[in-house]
């Protein structure tokens, strides 16, 4: 009887999950159908579809022209997102199934559903990697935060693969934590579909693995990357060179901002110099923290990896607001330290941090809309959030990397 009840319960859960996913996909389809035009998913879908159906190289000029015609009805203007496929050819493993769907709004809707599920996964993996056991209500709050935070919602609506790339990287970190290094290497390479966003982090993973003599992890990354390049080179022999050319062209375009260009916009006299100063400071900090983490355990590694993810948005590379999804796991680590170390005081900080960061960012974006200012030019959205994350990571650094029982921790426990 108990087995029968358990089976019925499982069947009910599966049925409800299928209905919920179908409803979510339908809502996404309605949105996609009513909001056509260029978005982050269109280059991936169109380039892969025309490659498989028409035999056009995803990196060719004819693909770019057709893509921009599909999105704008004309070539892209300066400041608009160009029709460039910036992903490695092995991303066909991820984009290929969606490219087989002829109806673009339907393909985009299903892609959005996948990204929404990935955001739930990012929250769950962030909790697991922090070795945290929050209450049920806090778990629900964290999932809601991860899915509906301004940057997350923007990434889903725009169809930005950074969400899936972040999820795959977190899966790779979980495999590293459990010393499943072969699987970890493969997942890290898959996360590299957003190579311009993940290259620095992947470099750090390899350096740290070398310091730990985790040769299996290093060889897994190298072998997985080499295997995927070799296999896809049978499809287009020079795709690696073409991909690099497209990435360089993309970063030369006027689409997207760096911290320096944002500061130069608001402070024409000193903004660019401040931007260079910020780049040098962040780069020097990263080098120091990488060096400090060498030979240290996984706790130290994960803190430094999160610092790297946050710093990617400040180091001077061209970025987009959707890339700030990368910071969700770092925020969860901060909350975990506050909760576990400081009792009631920490839980108060958690609630203040969650509500402040969630509603503060949304209010700032709505304020930009009322003033007619692009969100990309909003200093709160572009600079304040990652700077807050850096401050928070350094606040919890001692407890995240070395977990001794400090006097303030004891005081927090007594309050709890």
pLDDT in tens, 70-105: 888 788 777 677 888 999 999 999 999 999 999 999
Query: For residue 261, is it within any domain?
Result: yes
Query: For residue 259, is it within any domain?
Result: yes
Distance CA 245, CA 185 (A): 26
Distance CA 316, CA 282 (A): 9
pLDDT level of residue 5 (50, 70, 90 thresholds): low
Query: For residue 298, is it within any domain?
Result: yes
For the beta carbon of residue 239, count every other beta carbon within 10 angstroms.
Answer: 18
Q: Which two tokens stand for residue 9?
A: 């319960």
Query: For residue 8, is it within any domain?
Result: no
Q: Which two tokens stand for residue 75?
A: 């070539």
CA atoms within 13 A on the CB side of 293: 29
**Total domain count, the chain:** 1
User: Pick the residue with more confidence: 199 or 259?
Assistant: 199
Query: For residue 7, is it within any domain?
Result: no
Query: For residue 12, is it within any domain?
Result: no
- What is the model's pLDDT at position 101? 94
Angle in degrees, CA 222, 227, 231, rounded to 5: 155
Q: Which two tokens stand for residue 89?
A: 């050819």
**What is the per-residue pLDDT across 334-378, written as a single tens digit (0 to 9) for each?**
999 999 888 788 888 899 999 999 999 999 999 988 888 888 888
Distance CA 161, CA 115 (A): 8
- What is the model's pLDDT at position 317? 77
Q: Are the C-beta atoms of residues 362 and 304 closer than 8 Å to each other?
A: no
User: Sign of the C-alpha dihedral, residues 159, 161, 167, 168?
Assistant: positive
For the beta carbon of residue 64, count every other beta carbon within 10 angstroms.
Answer: 22
Q: Are the C-beta atoms of residues 365 and 150 closer than 8 Å to each other?
A: yes
Give the least confident one: 22-26, 50-54, 87-91, 232-236.
Answer: 22-26
Q: What is the CA radius of gyration of the chain?
A: 22
pLDDT level of residue 1 (50, 70, 90 thresholds): low
- What is the model's pLDDT at position 264? 80
Determine which helix (DSSP H) or strand (DSSP E) holds 228, and give its type and residue range.
Answer: helix 215-233
Closest CA to 55 of 267, 295, 296, 235: 235
pTM above 0.75, yes or no: yes
Q: Which two tokens stand for residue 88?
A: 């490695």
Distance CA 305, CA 299 (A): 10
| Helical residues (DSSP H) of 253-372, grouped into ranges | 259-266, 271-293, 298-311, 328-371
Domain range for 291: 24-415
CA atoms within 13 A on the CB side of 16: 6
Query: For residue 13, is it within any domain?
Result: no
Query: For residue 9, is it within any domain?
Result: no
pLDDT level of residue 253 (50, 70, 90 thresholds): low
């Amino acid at each position: 009887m108990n087995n029968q009840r358990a089976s019925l319960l499982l069947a009910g859960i599966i049925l409800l999950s299928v209905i919920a996913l179908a409803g979510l996909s339908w809502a996404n389809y309605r949105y996609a159908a009513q909001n056509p035009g260029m978005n982050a998913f269109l280059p991936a879908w169109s380039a892969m579809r025309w490659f498989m159906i028409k035999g056009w190289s995803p990196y060719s000029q004819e693909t770019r022209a057709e893509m921009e015609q599909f999105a704008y009805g004309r070539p892209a203007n300066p400041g608009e997102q160009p029709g460039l496929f910036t992903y490695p050819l092995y991303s066909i493993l991820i984009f290929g199934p969606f490219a087989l769907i002829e109806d673009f709004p339907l393909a985009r809707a299903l892609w959005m559903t996948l990204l929404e599920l990935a955001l739930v996964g990012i929250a769950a993996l962030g909790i697991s990697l922090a070795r945290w056991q929050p209450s049920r209500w806090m778990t629900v709050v964290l999932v809601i935060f991860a899915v509906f935070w301004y940057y997350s919602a923007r990434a889903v609506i725009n169809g930005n693969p950074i969400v899936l790339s972040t999820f795959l990287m977190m899966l790779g970190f979980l495999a590293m934590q459990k010393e499943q290094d072969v699987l970890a290497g493969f997942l890290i390479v898959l996360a590299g579909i957003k190579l311009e966003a993940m290259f620095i982090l992947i470099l750090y993973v390899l350096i740290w693995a070398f310091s730990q003599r985790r040769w299996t992890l290093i060889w897994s990354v190298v072998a997985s990357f080499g295997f995927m390049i070799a296999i896809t080179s049978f499809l287009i022999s020079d795709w690696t060179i073409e991909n690099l050319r497209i990435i360089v062209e993309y970063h030369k375009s006027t689409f997207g901002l760096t911290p320096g260009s944002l500061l130069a916009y608001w402070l024409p006299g000193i903004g660019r110099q401040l931007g260079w100063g910020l780049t040098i400071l962040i780069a020097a900090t990263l080098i120091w923290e990488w060096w400090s983490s060498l030979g240290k355990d996984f706790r130290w590694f994960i803190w430094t990896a999160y610092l790297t993810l946050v710093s990617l948005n400040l180091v001077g590379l061209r970025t987009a607001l959707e890339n700030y999804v990368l910071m969700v796991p770092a925020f969860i680590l901060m909350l975990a330290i506050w909760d576990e170390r400081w009792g009631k005081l920490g839980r108060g900080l958690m609630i203040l941090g969650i509500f402040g960061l969630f509603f503060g960012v949304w209010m700032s974006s709505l304020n930009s809309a009322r003033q007619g200012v692009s969100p990309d030019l909003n200093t709160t959205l572009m600079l304040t959030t990652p700077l807050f994350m850096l401050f928070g990571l350094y606040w919890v650094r001692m407890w995240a990397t070395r977990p001794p029982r400090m006097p303030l921790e004891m005081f927090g426990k007594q309050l709890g």
